[in-house]
A = this chain, B = another copy of it.
Amino acid sequence: MTYSISILPGDGIGVEVIDATRPLLDDAAHAGGFELETTRYDWGSERYLEAGSMMPDDAIETLEPYDAILLGAVGHPDIPDHVTLRGMMLPIRKAFDQQVCKRPSVLFDGVESPLRGYDGGDIDFVVYRENTEGEYADAGGHEHRGYPHEVAVQTAVYTRQGTETIVRAAFEAARSREGRLTNVTKSNAQAHGMVFWDEVVEEVSADYPDVTVERLLVDAASMDLVRRPDEFDVLVASNLFGDILTDIGAIVSGSMGMAPSANINVEGHSPSMFEPVHGSAPDIAGRGIANPLATVLSVSMLFDHLGESEVARDIWRAVESQLADADAPRTPDLGGSATTEAVVEDIRARL
């Protein structure tokens, strides 16, 4: 069996965590008895500064044949975010119809939560985030620039296909976990898009009588991820709300440096993309101290998606074992002083 993986380190610490994690892919292939064909593409902000675009014109065609994409992070202090992100990460999610974004939040044993009273093992939920439309739709405009009646509008677009896809994926996940789904919307204030979303959840729930559905408004949900993160199993939310909830999920689970994600093409006709939730972190880039565990866990999700569940599980367990070991190397975000590479080396030794 041979899998082809395209590797897009991107910018800042994205490059560091991806390059450090690279050897782990070969270890995994060796352990799992499969072959990997990987190609590294140096796309990103440096390219933009030199050539005027984040990716070449044929980037999507280039990536299309791969079985999966591994992405680092995108973003540069000298370039507006809407240029970098809309030039690289977001178009990949859209072009390959990666409608389902899956982001687990786990407080691992040995990791301290910023929340009082929460110990390793207490938090374990997953957010299913709609990933290609909603509030991120490229719809809107800006008129009367500079005049007192200037106005900008931004339109969120929720299709039945997109909404049903993420909602079904979340129900399936809840069924395979503890059977509890929290639907997060803002229907009290957004009577068009969000009320439609609630209707779809209501409808789809008829097919999942074994799943209990709780409804929360996004403000209450954001608060409850701080107040009672141990009570959640699966959450489902729109693109923007999922974005916010997963950052809160990452921090209550100890550090943004350990939050992985999968951007999944459900039909399987185009590659899915795996990436740490964190950004390019210009403030710590270049020092070799970024936490690679979000990338390591994303690699685990990548192999799981490819059907190599044993290898995926072993990588996940290596992370668990490292974090539970008080003597293991840790990056500064976890209170240690180890380098990115030292953490990956230790993971490899545990495999």
Residues of A at the B interface (CB closer than 8 Å) are 75, 80-82, 84-86, 90, 112-117, 135-136, 138-142, 144, 147-161, 186-197, 217-220, 222-223, 226-227, 239-240, 243-244, 246-248, 250-252, 256, 279
Contacts and interface: CB of A to CB of B under 8 A. Distances in A.
B191 A138 contact: yes
A219 B226 CA distance: 14
Given A140-B193, A251-B227, A160 B188 contact: no
Given A82-B188, A247-B219, A159 B154 contact: no
A81 B186 CA distance: 9
Given A222-B222, A226-B252, A136 B189 contact: yes
Contacts of A279: 220
Per assembly, the copies of the chain total 2
B226 A243 contact: no
A158 B154 CA distance: 8
Contact of A159 (B140, B151, B223): B151
Contact of A160 (B81, B151, B226, B243): B151
A326 to B, nearest CB: 18
Given A226-B252, A240-B186, A154 B151 contact: no
B155 A151 contact: no
A164 B157 CA distance: 27
Contacts of A138: 191
Dominant secondary structure of chain A at its interface with chain B: mixed
Contacts of A154: 155-156, 158, 190, 192-194
Contacts of A243: 186, 189, 218-219
A226 B224 CA distance: 12
Contact of A191 (B86, B147, B197, B246): B86
A141 B192 contact: yes
A91 to B, nearest CB: 12
Nearest to A219: B247
Nearest to A242: B219
Contacts of A240: 186, 189, 218
A167 B323 CA distance: 44
Nearest to A150: B160
Contacts of A148: 160-161
Given A82-B187, A217-B81, A219-B244, A114 B155 contact: no
B153 A158 contact: yes
Contacts of A158: 151-154
A141 B197 CA distance: 13
25 contacts: A80-B195, A82-B189, A84-B188, A90-B189, A114-B117, A135-B186, A136-B190, A139-B153, A140-B155, A140-B156, A140-B191, A148-B160, A148-B161, A151-B158, A152-B192, A153-B156, A154-B156, A154-B193, A156-B156, A186-B240, A186-B243, A189-B243, A218-B244, A223-B256, A227-B251
* Max chain B Cβ within 10 angstroms of own Cβ: one of A139, A157, A189: A189
Contacts of A195: 80, 82, 142, 152
Contacts of A159: 149-151
Nearest to A155: B155
A112 to B, nearest CB: 8
Contacts of A117: 114
Q: 7 shortest A-B CB distances, which residue pairs?
A: A140-B192, A154-B193, A81-B188, A152-B196, A150-B160, A219-B247, A223-B247
